[in-house]
């Protein structure tokens, strides 16, 4: 299986999960676009594995159209959109201020919605595309140590994914969300206390955290052409390869 000739945009590329997600599509032959608010680590990743580094605040409605206008001229049409940008918070509902609520939603949802809005028209026109969003088990569990705003934002990510899938499945474009449980990354190691990390670990049946590379492998599978689309026409259920 190969992604040669395809271009993949990963948001939140400077983080541990973003780096892991970017490497595997690159190894499969995809051209990379690495987008993040932080310039240095993104440029380091670009030098390490190739690809175009883009510094952009994807929660800014004015930044995404600029990126959508400039990126295709450098790497071609974006075929694969992997949305990974996000922030953790731990405040439960009574302690969540309106400012914190809006901050988390804008960082976790807007950088998924705005690039989808910008790049989906090209995928639909080409009758091929992949949209892969990073949600979280907190969307279902309410978050063991994660805060209310975070859990709600990840539930919204699933709603966004389903809405996109319903709109574009007939155009050869798939949309999927991955919802890992507790994953070891700076978001966990730096933003949760030792006691919170231990509470999470005790609730995991396998006794360990998920690693970023495990999520990256799921992303790569969902990006490959053999990932199937299912169409229903009349009483017949048709299975088509998405290309």
Q: Averaged over 5-28, what is the pLDDT?
A: 78
Report the b/e string of 65-77 with b at 16+ CB within 10 A: eebbeebeeebee
pTM for this structure? Answer: 0.84
Residue 238: band (very low, low, confident or very high) from pLDDT cuts 50, 70, 90: very low
Q: Averaged over 36-54, what is the pLDDT?
A: 83
pLDDT at site 80: 94
pLDDT at site 40: 84
Active site residue 209: no
pLDDT at site 97: 97
**Phi and psi of 105, rounded to 5°?**
-65, -40
Selected catalytic residue, list 150, 151, 192, 215: 150
Distance CA 145, CA 143 (A): 6
pLDDT tens, residue by residue, 156-172: 999 999 999 999 999 99
Residue 30: band (very low, low, confident or very high) from pLDDT cuts 50, 70, 90: confident
At residue 212, does pLDDT exceed 90?
A: no
Distance CA 90, CA 82 (A): 25
129, 120 in Cβ contact below 8 A?
A: yes
Helix runs in 82-229, H state only: 98-108, 110-126, 138-141, 148-168, 186-189, 194-202, 212-223
User: Residue 152, class by beta-carbon neighbours within 10 Å (0-12 exposed, 13-18 middle, 19+ buried)?
Assistant: buried
């Amino acid at each position: 299986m190969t992604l040669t000739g395809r271009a993949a945009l990963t948001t939140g590329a400077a983080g541990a999960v973003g780096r892991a997600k970017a490497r595997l599509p690159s190894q499969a032959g995809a051209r990379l676009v690495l987008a993040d608010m932080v310039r240095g680590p993104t440029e380091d990743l670009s030098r390490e594995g190739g690809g175009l580094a883009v510094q952009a605040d994807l929660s800014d409605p004015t930044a995404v159209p600029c990126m959508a206008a400039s990126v295709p001229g450098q790497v071609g049409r974006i075929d694969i959109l992997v949305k990974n940008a996000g922030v953790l918070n731990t405040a439960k509902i009574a302690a969540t201020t309106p400012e914190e609520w809006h901050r988390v939603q804008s960082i976790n949802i807007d950088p998924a919605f705005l690039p989808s809005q910008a790049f989906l028209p090209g995928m639909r026109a080409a009758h091929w595309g992949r949209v892969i969003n990073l949600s979280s088990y907190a969307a279902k569990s309410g978050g063991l140590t994660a805060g209310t705003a975070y859990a709600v934002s990840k539930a919204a990510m699933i709603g966004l994914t389903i809405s996109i899938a319903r709109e574009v499945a007939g155009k050869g474009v798939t949309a999927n969300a991955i919802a890992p449980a507790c994953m070891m990354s700076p978001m966990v190691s730096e933003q949760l206390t030792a006691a919170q990390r231990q509470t999470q670990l005790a609730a995991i049946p396998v006794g360990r955290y998920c690693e970023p590379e495990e999520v990256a492998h799921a992303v790569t599978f969902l990006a490959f052409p053999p990932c199937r689309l299912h169409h229903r026409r009349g009483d017949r259920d048709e299975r088509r390869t998405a290309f």
